[in-house]
Structure 1
Amino acid sequence: MSLLALAGCSGEEDTGPDTLTVAVVDNGDLDVLQDLSTAFLDEHPGVEIEWVREGENELRETVSTDVGTGAGRFDVATVGTYEAQVWAGQELLTPLTDMPEGFDPEAFVPEVRDALSADGTMQAAPFYGESSMTMYRTDLLEEVGVEMPDEPTWEDVLAAATAVDEQTDTAGACIRGKAGWGENGAVVTAMAHSYGARWFDEDWRATLDSEQWRAAAETYLALAALAPEGVAEAGYSENLALFQEGECAVWVDATSAASFVTDPEASTVAEDVGFARAPGTPEGRASNWLWSWALAIPASSDNSELARAFVTWATSSEYAALVAEDRGWAAVPPGSRVDLYDNPDYLEAAEPFAELTLESIRTSDITEPSSEPVPYVGMQYVDVPAFQSLGNAVGQQLTQAVTGDLDLDEALERSQWVADQTIEQTRLLADQEDAEADSESTED
């Protein structure tokens, strides 16, 4: 009997369709999931799936609002490691216990599984896992006489991008300029941590006015100056398209992009792409982040049994085999299941990037992202509820620095002010909650 049948819920007695509402980020891997979901529906007569697909910024706002208010619109939603940790503390997600037969937490890459868990219980199942890496055009770097090291520094990346930009007709770099904590905020935060910067010191004092933050921001702006036109509106998806179209030479971004930039049916430069580790600094560390677009079941869903069946199917080895049959092994969602990296067919198809992806995931130290001690977890984010609004606000300042509407001094000064205000408001709310708790205790 197939995993689908074991996990399924029979619809034979239903009088109408049982609708599963699924919210997903609009990217290539999840596009494939939607296309292949007919296999799930074939095993579940009487079930329909309503898909809600949005860009990263829009999806985060939509899902955060729905989950936070308990509206119950979504039965399954793509969330990341940030939401899995933060929302677990607020009991906004359904822990992945009592799952259908075939769901095994031990099947997932340990670092990804742990990042999606709270108190040892998974809060979401990884659809794919990722870190970050350096992707570059081997033909263009050879043309300008530059060699990309296997473990580059940000100076190496900037030098290569500058050489291409000055000596060819191709833009030197692609980089996220679109404002958002998960867009330019993610890239700059990982970059800043690699420079030894931190959002907050051990006493939760904001430190965006530090020399390390300035050094990271200067590198970010230098790369943005080498990007194709429209960099301020370019996020992950836009940069992926630009790189595939041969519009830039160097791109530091998610490892999950690797299969798309080397797909000859989607990428005009598929045969000329090289990979290296995410950049770092001699005095800091590498900037390789840890992330997963994962499938979670909001606590407000009234269709959790069917949602559990869908999550089990979509993160299974059976689904991986279905993708391989339909799209090829290189297109299988990476970084989530251990058995994928024991599969010789996958390792051969994804040879240019498979081992580097797994190594980057496993060496991302999200508990110690900076060379300086921090009170939070996260390489490209800070695992506190207020970071969504804070990261968005700082992302706006950085985008304005990219467009020239703000100089760097003013952008960092405004960012420091926002961070100061955010942490002060957080303290006041915490003090208020403590006072209310003490009052209730006294009354009891």
Structure 2
Amino acid sequence: MRTRRMIHVVATAAAASSLLVACSGAGGSSGSGGGDGKSINVLMVGNPQMEDIAKLTKDTFTKDTGIKVNFTVLPENELRDKVTQDVATQAGQYDVATIGAYEVPIWEKNGWLHELSSYADKDASFDKADLLKPMVTSLSGSDGKLYALPFYGESSFLMYNKDVMEAKGIKVPERPTWQQIADIAAKVDGAEPGMRGICLRGLAGWGELGASLTTVVNTYGGTWFTKDWKAQVNSPEFKKAANFYVDLVRKHGEAGAAQAGFTECLNAMSQKKVAMWYDATSAAGSLEDPNSSKIAGRVGYAYAPTAETKSSGWLWSWAWAMPKTTKNADAASKFMLWASSKEYEKTVGEKLGWSRIPAGKRVSTYELPEYQKAAASFGDITLKSIEQADPANPGVQPRPTVGVQYVAIPEFQDLGTKVTQEISAAIAGKTSVDKALDDGQKLAEEVAKNYQ
């Protein structure tokens, strides 16, 4: 019954019909044969690293293997809905999809994913032992095998415009508190025409606003659930963190904040529309690319701001997964191994620039002289942020599941999205934070009943 309920919840969150959910099983075809092996369908999130691979594949991977790759690229929220619907309902439209540390353990238990360790072990050039341990741990199933291959890994940190800070005589601490960042945001708001103090995600979605907000909740002493599954969404600590976040973005945040996610903040920061940005460490490569960023070479980096905890950065990996429904497993595995390889990183470095390597997944990446030079300002802090992230103990109290910026249960996809929709509305001035969290508490209490 538990597995059936998990399938129902995940598929419902993706707006799959109840009929399809009822017809979906936990297994599916093995995907070990069938298909012509010469064409695969890949669904991926529309981040810069994915846009890069879409540009490079035809003249590299396809040229060498003869395997054509048909990419579907979607914004993060749309990607999450689409991939969940396809995999949960066994639709089988895609051979490969980008998912993350949240989905892997849940979907592996449901039998929706191919294990990938056997493919990685057979390919000596892939060098599985070179993968960073946090990435391997987060993408492994209950049997210890990999069920997704990391494309890039990330934590979160603060990025800031050094020119603006120097002009204002401000020194950003290497390990700032959130109150220090709020004070700085107020001082640099309007430092240049049209410039706001900080960019923080305001776009609803458990992986958009939910990710950044939850790290603030953690470090302010809050949590979604206690260890014994008592909902805490309207607790004093959660309310304090959420009110702080909403107040900061309303007073000194980017224009149109309620509709701004990772992509919008990346654009705002790179085009000098904001002076600071708290978000994924993986954004640094794009900010340091002079072809797309007006502040390349003039960006400063600091660890994720804190309040009551020593660190607060999240842990995530966008990774390649193979649904059990694929009929092109061999071709799909070749693509995934290549896309997560040292060879591919070298291709990106040589063709697009070394700062744009999809980093954060391999030890060897940080030993490359070319990357060390290109990532001199952010490489070390990125690696340390990933290593310091603690999914088991991200806050001040014991948790019922692992996860820094999410709760590792199927229901969180729906819960996190609904709660952040209300908080996003508060950012837009349409409701209050307290009302949003009081409504969210009721939803969280319903989820908690499944585990108490």
TM-score (norm 2): 0.88
Equivalent residue in structure 2 for 1:260, among 286, 305, 311: 286
Q: Which residue of structure 1 lines up, in the alignment, with residue 107 of structure 2?
A: 87
C-alpha separation in 2, matches of 1:22 and 1:273: 33
Counterpart check, 1:407 vs 2:432: yes
Equivalent residue in structure 2 for 1:274, among 300, 314, 320: 300
Q: Which residue of structure 1 lines up, in the alignment, with residue 184 of structure 2?
A: 160
State how 1:267-306 maps to structure 2 within 5 Å.
267-281=293-307, 283-306=308-331
Q: What SS class does the counterpart of residue 173 from structure 1 fall into?
A: coil
Contact kept? 2:126, 2:342, Cα under 8 Å: no
Select between 378-387 and 114-123 the one with higher mean Cα deviation. Answer: 114-123
Q: Which residue of structure 2 lines up, in the alignment, with residue 120 of structure 1?
A: 144
C-alpha separation in 2, matches of 1:167 and 1:253: 21
C-alpha separation in 2, matches of 1:212 and 1:143: 36
Equivalent residue in structure 1 for 2:157, among 127, 133, 138: 133
Gaps of 5+ in 1: 1-13, 429-444
C-alpha separation in 2, matches of 1:116 and 1:81: 6
Counterpart check, 1:200 vs 2:228: no
Q: Which residue of structure 1 lines up, in the alignment, with residue 127 of structure 2?
A: 104
C-alpha spacing 1:166/1:418, structure 2 compared with 1 (3 Å) = same
How far residue 112 of structure 1 moved from its aligned partner, in angstroms, is 1.1
- After superposition, give the CA deviation of every residue in 1:253-283 in whole Å (9 maximum; x if it has no partner): 00000011121111112232100001111x2
Contact kept? 2:130, 2:362, Cα under 8 Å: yes
Tell me the number of residue pairs that the alignment of Structure 1 and Structure 2 aligns. Answer: 412
Q: Which residue of structure 2 lines up, in the alignment, with residue 248 of structure 1?
A: 274
Structure 1 vs Structure 2 CA RMSD: 1.6
Contact kept? 2:229, 2:451, Cα under 8 Å: no
C-alpha separation in 1, matches of 2:438 and 2:451: 21
How far residue 251 of structure 1 moved from its aligned partner, in angstroms, is 0.5
How far residue 67 of structure 1 moved from its aligned partner, in angstroms, is 0.5
Counterpart check, 1:24 vs 2:50: no
Equivalent residue in structure 1 for 2:261, among 222, 229, 235: 235
State the AA in 1 paired with 2:186: T
- After superposition, give the CA deviation of every residue in 1:231-269 in whole Å (9 maximum; x if it has no partner): 111100011001111000111000000011121111112
C-alpha spacing 1:383/1:324, structure 2 compared with 1 (3 Å) = same
State the AA in 2 paired with 1:123: Y
Q: What SS class does the counterpart of residue 245 from structure 2 fall into?
A: helix
Counterpart check, 1:395 vs 2:398: no
Contact kept? 1:154, 1:219, Cα under 8 Å: no
Q: Which residue of structure 1 lines up, in the alignment, with residue 76 of structure 2?
A: 56
C-alpha separation in 2, matches of 1:126 and 1:427: 30
Contact kept? 2:288, 2:355, Cα under 8 Å: no
Q: What SS class does the counterpart of residue 159 from structure 2 fall into?
A: strand
State the AA in 2 paired with 1:43: D
How far residue 318 of structure 1 moved from its aligned partner, in angstroms, is 0.8
How far residue 166 of structure 1 moved from its aligned partner, in angstroms, is 5.7
Gaps of 5+ in 2: 1-33
State the AA in 1 paired with 2:258: A
State how 1:356-367 maps to structure 2 within 5 Å.
356-367=381-392
C-alpha separation in 2, matches of 1:128 and 1:17: 26
Q: Which residue of structure 1 lines up, in the alignment, with residue 209 of structure 2?
A: 184
How far residue 317 of structure 1 moved from its aligned partner, in angstroms, is 0.8
Contact kept? 1:244, 1:266, Cα under 8 Å: yes
Identity %: 38
Equivalent residue in structure 2 for 1:42, among 63, 71, 75: 63
State the AA in 2 paired with 1:73: Q
C-alpha separation in 1, matches of 2:204 and 2:370: 39
Select between 332-341 and 17-26 the one with higher mean Cα deviation. Answer: 17-26
How far residue 205 of structure 1 moved from its aligned partner, in angstroms, is 0.8
How far residue 137 of structure 1 moved from its aligned partner, in angstroms, is 1.1
State the AA in 1 paired with 2:278: V
Contact kept? 1:285, 1:371, Cα under 8 Å: no
C-alpha separation in 1, matches of 2:277 and 2:144: 35
How far residue 142 of structure 1 moved from its aligned partner, in angstroms, is 2.1
C-alpha separation in 1, matches of 2:371 and 2:255: 36
Q: What SS class does the counterpart of residue 171 from structure 1 fall into?
A: coil
C-alpha separation in 1, matches of 2:451 and 2:237: 26
Bigger Rg, structure 1 or 2: 1
